[in-house]
């Protein structure tokens, strides 16, 4: 086992699958005790059972990040069972695809902000007092390339992801004097279970996968593990003088001018 997060207590939201799961697994391998926080109880419990079978220290707490009481309970359970959190990975999020501005129902707008933005604020509000008390901490807010670029028909996902950058910068400035670092991790196209579900719904899944991969200079999509390692960098002492920044991991897609 490596030790870049030895003795750290980490909360990872949206960790039942995809990027969050990869982060939780890697953090355990690097010595952290991890709370897997997710609304999916079956998948989240499965993740934690596998981690515990491997000798790691992990717990699952069913969490709806859009509900402040649910988040408060999750953090309390983390403190009771693992210890006071020193690392927070705000990863939970939702996306509504193929929606233009005028086609977006009010309830989808509200739900997008409730999960993607309010959820991060709820977690920060509950965790930051413990970090202040300890005199250190790291927060990683998972944004997206949508935090900087607009892809048509992904409204209001990009709006929420833009807002995450503002939240990250504001918290970084406010919490710097407490030795609490706050950064954003911004992935591009990642082959999550949700992405494979989308591929499978197309007429030719492999062609759909290749088409998305080919828009990147690296000519492929990212694996979940390729996002987990940058998250580890931001959470560890290796990035100790980095705060208020956005780390874009997108295979070079955002630097390409043409579609």
Each residue of 198-253: pLDDT tens digit?
A: 777 788 888 878 987 888 899 999 999 999 999 999 999 999 999 999 999 999 98
What's the pLDDT band for 1 if we cut at 50, 70, 90?
low
Instruction: Exactly one of 96, 130, 157, 257 is catalytic; name it.
Output: 157
Q: What are the pLDDT digits (tens) for 84-132? A: 999 999 999 998 876 678 888 999 999 999 999 999 999 999 999 999 9
Q: Give me 194's structure tokens.
A: 């949700």
Q: Which residue has the higher pLDDT, 28 or 254?
A: 28
Q: What are the pLDDT digits (tens) for 78-88? A: 999 999 999 99
Cβ-count burial 143-171 (b if 16+ within 10 Å, e if not)? bbbbbbeeeeebbbbbbbbbbbbebbbeb
Contacts of residue 117, defined as CB under 8 A and 6 or more positions apart, other chains included, come to 160, 163, 164, 167
Interval 47-62 mean pLDDT: 98
State the Cα–Cα distance between residues 258 and 148, nearest whole angstrom: 16
Nearest to 59 by CA among 76, 43, 44, 40: 44
State the Cα–Cα distance between residues 53 and 75, nearest whole angstrom: 23
What is the pTM for the complete model shown?
Answer: 0.94
Range list for CATH 3.40.50.720 in the chain: 9-187+223-248
Q: What are the pLDDT digits (tens) for 181-193? A: 999 999 988 888 7
Q: What are the pLDDT digits (tens) for 14-46? A: 999 999 999 999 999 999 999 999 999 999 999
Active site residue 157: yes
The CATH classification of domain 9-187+223-248, taken from the options 3.40.50.720, 3.30.300.30, 1.10.10.10, 3.40.50.2300: 3.40.50.720
């Amino acid at each position: 086992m490596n030790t870049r997060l030895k003795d750290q207590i980490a909360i990872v939201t949206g960790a039942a699958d995809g990027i969050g799961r990869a982060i939780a697994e890697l953090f355990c391998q690097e010595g952290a005790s991890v709370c897997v926080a997710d609304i999916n109880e079956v998948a989240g419990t499965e993740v934690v059972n596998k981690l515990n079978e491997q000798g790691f220290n992990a717990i699952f707490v069913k969490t709806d990040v859009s509900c402040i009481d649910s988040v408060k309970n999750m953090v309390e359970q983390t403190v009771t069972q693992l210890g006071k959190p020193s690392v927070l990975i705000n990863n939970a999020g939702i996306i509504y695809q193929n929606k233009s501005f005028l086609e977006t129902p009010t309830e989808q707008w509200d739900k997008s902000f409730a999960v993607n933005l309010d959820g991060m604020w709820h977690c920060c509000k509950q965790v930051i007092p413990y970090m202040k008390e300890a005199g250190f901490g790291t927060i990683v807010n998972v944004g997206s390339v949508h935090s900087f670029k607009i892809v048509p028909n992904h409204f209001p996902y990009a709006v929420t992801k833009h807002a995450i950058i503002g939240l990250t910068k504001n918290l970084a400035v406010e919490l710097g004097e407490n030795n609490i670092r706050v950064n954003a991790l911004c992935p591009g196209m990642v082959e999550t279970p949700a992405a494979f579900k989308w591929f499978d719904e197309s007429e030719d899944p492999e062609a759909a996968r290749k088409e998305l991969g080919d828009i990147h200079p690296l000519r492929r999509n990212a694996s979940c593990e390729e996002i987990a390692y940058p998250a580890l960098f931001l959470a560890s002492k290796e990035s100790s003088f980095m705060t208020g920044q956005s780390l874009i991991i997108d295979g070079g897609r955002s630097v390409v001018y043409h579609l």
